Amino acid sequence: MTDDKDVLRDVWFGRIPTCFTLYQDEITEREAEPYYLLLPRISYLTLVTDKVKKHFQKVMRQEEVSEIWFEYEGTPLKWHYPIGLLFDLHASNTALPWSITVHFKNFPEKDLLHCHSKDVIEAHFMACIKEADALKHKSQVINEMQKKDHKQLWMGLQNDKFEQFWAINRKLMEYPPEDSGFRFIPFRIYQATTERPFIQKLFRPVDSGGQLHTLGDLLKDMCPSAITPEDGEKKTQVMIHGIEPMLETPLQWLSEHMSYPDNFLHISIIPRPTD
Amino acid sequence: MSFSMAGEEDFFLEEKKFKQYCEEFVKHSQKIRDGWEWRTSKDFADGYLSKTHFQITNRNVPPDLKEKNNDNVEQTLFMHVEESLDDSQVDGVCATAEVIRYEYHVLYSSSYQVPVLYFRACFLDGRALTLDEIWKSVHACYQARLLEGPWDTITQQEHPLLGQPFFVLHPCRTNEFMSAVLASSRKENRQTNYIASWLSIVGPVVGLNLSLSYAKLASEQSTDADVT
């Protein structure tokens, strides 16, 4: 069991070295130096970039500063997706550090949700946790918890406190002894090339014969074209937290150990690098 | 009516049933021409109900308008807007009329097994309404309930099929109030269209009203359909 707990820690403490550069058309009073930061994979952009905002606001006039937003190679980055998911989906096979452009003007209303305060992030995070528990336990576990337990999950994430977070989250990872796992697995499969932002459907951790479903079973069901090689060559990679888990891995195990703090398995399907 | 029953109090809606109710709903909408249509995602795997309408808002609504019948509100508002513009020129008080384009989508949530109402609104020049402006546009009689009732919290979320920001009426309490509605119709052996019932409850909170003729929808079907 020690090995499994190590996985939880490895997932929690994953970091991505990032270089933030101010968009060239932003109006500054003097030149803006890039800002370097190690971003937690499990957190959200607007939760961990206060220092980035302060750094660039120092060289700008107050009236030129509106809501901050981030972009990678022309694509606005959705702050409500975990950072690790954004990186895996858009930049995982590029050279580090991850180069993100910072904007303070022309907020892309059609692409990004607004994030005027930390309360918005907390509301989004808790909504994801609640939805995950609706799938796993018909909301019974999350609804039985007190408000202070919900707060502890959020504070654990916000303050990067692994133990504080998992003291409560472990309850969301339990299931009745007579069952083989959760009711349904909370997951989302992302592909940057589709109009649909993600695939999310009901999927059980065990089949009708009681056999544990694997990651491969899930993918075969949800997006077969993405994993079955057309001409013998695999064109895509299946990535979670920057690694390619074996397709034989039981989905129940993945859900318990490699979910993000929002209790969802966020899975990226990306083009395999050709080199 | 088939629902997956977890207990006597649970009235969850299966996805297949959702699509059937939507189909009935759209057929009726076409009859009365109130603009609802069924749209599918590019891969045709999923679909949703959609309706766009324009609303004229006047912030300085005279008190007697609040009592008016919903069907006449838009026309009456428009008339009052013209009148008050003349008055305001005399009094020096500014009353502005704005046209807002509302787009409503009804999607199915597999996580909560209920329908969910998504919507967005913008002025004619394309400027999107802020969450604050959305709140203010909700009719006064719903404001108090909105503030206290978690089931009708409005937040901004990503549309699960289009990937664009929409406002959403939070679905996690839908089952609670739908149970009461459906339990009583079950007792009376009356068929209902889940979507019509649900939308008639949540819609008005965000400025979406349904013609009363939707209530006849299910009873028309039940004369021919098998009683489940």
Domains plus CATH for chain B?
15-57+96-216 (3.30.1460.50)
- Asked if A123 lies within 8 A of B162 by C-beta distance, the reply is no
Cα separation, A180 vs B19, whole angstroms? 32
Least confident of A9-18, A58-67, A229-238: A229-238
Smallest Cα–Cα separation from A151: which of A126, A121, A117? Answer: A126
A200 touches chain B (CB under 8 A): yes
Cα gap B157→B111, rounded to integer Å: 15
One fold for both A15-103 and A187-270?
Answer: yes
Whole-number pLDDT of residue B58: 65
Q: Which two tokens stand for residue B8?
A: 């006597």
Asked whether B173 and B198 are in contact (CB, 8 A), the reply is no
Q: Which class would CATH give A15-103?
A: alpha beta
Q: What is the pLDDT of residues B154-206, one digit of tens each?
A: 889 999 999 999 999 887 666 666 777 777 777 776 778 889 989 988 888 88
How far apart are the CA of B134 and the nearest CA of chain A, in angstroms?
14
Contact A110 B164 (CB under 8 A): yes
CB contact under 8 A, B110 and A123: no
* A89 pLDDT more than 60: yes
Nearest-CA distance A112 → chain B (Å): 6
Instruction: Write the residue in A114, A130, A195 that is nearest to B42 by C-beta.
Output: A195
Domain A118-173 sits in CATH 3.90.226.10: no
User: Structural domain boundaries of chain A?
Assistant: 15-103, 118-173, 187-270
Using CA atoms, how far residue B113 sits from A157, A203, B12, B101, B105, in Å, is 29, 14, 6, 29, 16
Which of A116-125, A133-142, B5-14, B21-30 shows the lowest per-residue confidence on average (mean pLDDT)?
A: B5-14
* CATH T-level assignment (fold) for domain A187-270: Ubiquitin-like (UB roll) (3.10.20)
Question: What pLDDT is stored for residue B169 in this prediction?
Answer: 85
Instruction: Report, as residue numbers or ranges, the catalytic residues of B.
Output: 172
Task: Answer yes or no: pTM beyond 0.90.
Answer: no
Chain A residues in contact with B161 (beta carbon < 8 A): 196-197
- pLDDT at position B146 is 65
How confident is the model over A161-190, as a mean pLDDT?
97
Give contacts of B112 with chain A, Cβ < 8 Å: 131, 134
3-class SS of residue A39: strand
Residue B92: the pLDDT is 37
B160: nearest CB among A110, A111, A197: A197
Contact criterion met (CB < 8 Å) for B164 and A202: no
Query: Helices marked H in chain B — which ranges?
Result: 15-32, 70-91, 131-137, 140-148, 174-187, 194-202, 215-224
For residue B161, give the nearest of A114, A131, A196 by CB distance.
A196
Among the listed residues A135, A119, A272, A250, the one whose alpha carbon sits nearest the alpha carbon of residue A200: A135
B165 touches chain A (CB under 8 A): yes
pLDDT band at A231 (very low <50, low <70, confident <90, very high): low
pLDDT of residue A2: 59
ipTM of the complex: 0.92
Which positions in chain A touch B131 (Cβ < 8 Å)?
A: 114
Percent of chain A whose pLDDT exceeds 90: 86
- Provide the token pair at B10: 């649970």
Contacts of A197 in chain B (CB under 8 A): 158, 160-163
- pLDDT given at position B32: 94
- Measured between alpha carbons, how far is residue A53 from residues A3, A34, A121, A248, B188 in Å? 38, 12, 17, 43, 61
Residues A132, B116, A81, CA angle at the centre, nearest 5°? 45
Question: What does each C-alpha distance from A113 to A108, A132, B159 come to in angstroms?
Answer: 9, 21, 11
Which has the higher per-residue pLDDT, A70 or B125? Answer: A70
Contact B154, B134 (CB under 8 A): yes
Q: Report which residue type is found at A191.
A: Q
Minimal C-alpha gap between B47 and chain A (Å): 12
Mean pLDDT, rounded, for A81-92: 97
Mean pLDDT for A145-167 is: 97
**Alpha carbons A106 and A64: distance in angstroms, whole number:** 11
- Residues in chain A closer than 8 A to B157 (CB atoms): 113, 124, 127
Taking an 8 Å cut-off on Cβ atoms, the answer to whether B172 and A109 are in contact is no
Check CB contact of B96 with chain A, cutoff 8 Å.
no
Q: Give residue-wise pLDDT tens across range A194-222.
A: 889 999 999 999 999 999 999 999 999 99
* Contact residues, B window 3-22, toward A, CB-based 8 Å cutoff: 6
Inter-chain touch A200–B128, beta carbons under 8 Å:
no
Give the integer Cα–Cα distance in Å for A255 and A218: 12
In tens digits, chain B (228 residues) has pLDDT values of: 334 434 444 567 889 999 999 999 999 999 999 999 999 987 777 999 999 999 887 654 443 433 333 444 444 333 333 343 444 444 433 456 789 999 999 999 999 999 999 999 999 988 899 888 887 777 777 777 666 654 457 889 999 999 999 999 887 666 666 777 777 777 776 778 889 989 988 888 888 888 988 887 764 444 444 444
Nearest-Cα distance to chain A for B174, in Å, is 13
> Distance between alpha carbon A75 and the CA centroid of its chain, in Å?
17
CB contact under 8 A, A201 and B165: no
- The pLDDT value given to residue B190: 73
Give the nearest partner residue to B128 out of A80, A109, A194, using CB atoms: A109
Mean predicted lDDT score pLDDT of chain A: 94
Closest approach of chain B CAs to the CA of A114, in angstroms?
A: 8
Q: What integer is the mean pLDDT of A111-134?
A: 94
Q: Is the pLDDT of residue A135 over 80?
A: yes
